[in-house]
Amino acid sequence: MAGMRNIVLIGFMGAGKTEVGQRLSEVLRRPFVDTDKIVEEAAGATIETIFETLGEDKFRELETDAIKSLSHIRGEVIATGGGAIAREENAKMLKQDGFVVYLYARPEVLFQRIANGTGRPLADRMNGQADMEVLLMQRDPLYRQTADLIVDTSDQTADAVEHEIFRAIGY
Ligand code: S3P
């Protein structure tokens, strides 16, 4: 892997971006950043509250600002929100200095993982797995076209996922 490119994790809600990102950051001793956290800090509110009070469009603006604010960083591990690549400009910026990893999981696995979670306004609005699959089907091609590496996390532990990424970056 060339020099100090960032490692950028993309994928649907429940793909494990934050967990895998934190683990990579620890082992590789690189800083970990999460675009959702940057948005929350900038807004002084949780993602849930931002969606509720300012709406999704405003959240998307803040998300793009967060990604822009990372344009100068190198050698970090970046976890993104599940919708971050839906804007082409975001995908371009993330790819520019990043080795982009799509953490894929089968729909039923994702649904299980997000069903009991909290703090995800889009997931809270979904009425069952079929609803989730509509959004997933829109995004899956975008994840794939943005990714340098695709890892199927459906039946793998975080440890195994991490090792697949290490192999790909030559660590
Ligand atoms: C979103 C995913 C969330 C967060 C926001 C919107 C999405 O991040 O950015 O709730 O559009 O899929 P995670 O993928 O980390 O849950």
Question: What is residue 73's predicted lDDT score, i.e. its pLDDT?
Answer: 94
- 146 or 71: which leads in pLDDT: 146
Quote the CA–CA distance of 99 and 15 in Å, as a whole number: 17
Query: Tens of pLDDT along 21-74?
Result: 999 999 999 999 999 999 999 999 999 999 999 999 999 999 999 999 998 999
The residue whose C-alpha atom lies closest to atom 1 belonging to ligand 1 is 82
Mean pLDDT confidence for 121-148: 95
Question: What is residue 54's predicted lDDT score, i.e. its pLDDT?
Answer: 96
Ligand 1 atom nearest the C-alpha of 80 is 15
- Pocket test of ligand 1: the residue of 8, 12, 13 to mutate, having most ligand atoms within 8 Å of its CB, is 13
Any atom of ligand 1 within 6 Å of the Cβ of 21: no
Q: How far is the CA of 90 from the centre of ligand 1 (A)?
A: 14
The DSSP bridge partners found for residue 51 are: none
Any atom of ligand 1 within 6 Å of the Cβ of 95: no
The residue whose C-alpha atom lies closest to atom 8 belonging to ligand 1 is 81
Any atom of ligand 1 within 6 Å of the Cβ of 16: no
- Amino acid symbol at 163: H
Any atom of ligand 1 within 6 Å of the Cβ of 139: no
Q: How far is the CA of 30 from the centre of ligand 1 (A)?
A: 23
Predicted structure pTM score = 0.96
Reported confidence tier of residue 118, pLDDT bands at 50, 70, 90: confident
Reported confidence tier of residue 4, pLDDT bands at 50, 70, 90: confident
Render the burial of 150-167: b for 16+ CB within 10 Å, e for the rest: ebebeebeeeebbebbee
Question: What is residue 2's predicted lDDT score, i.e. its pLDDT?
Answer: 42
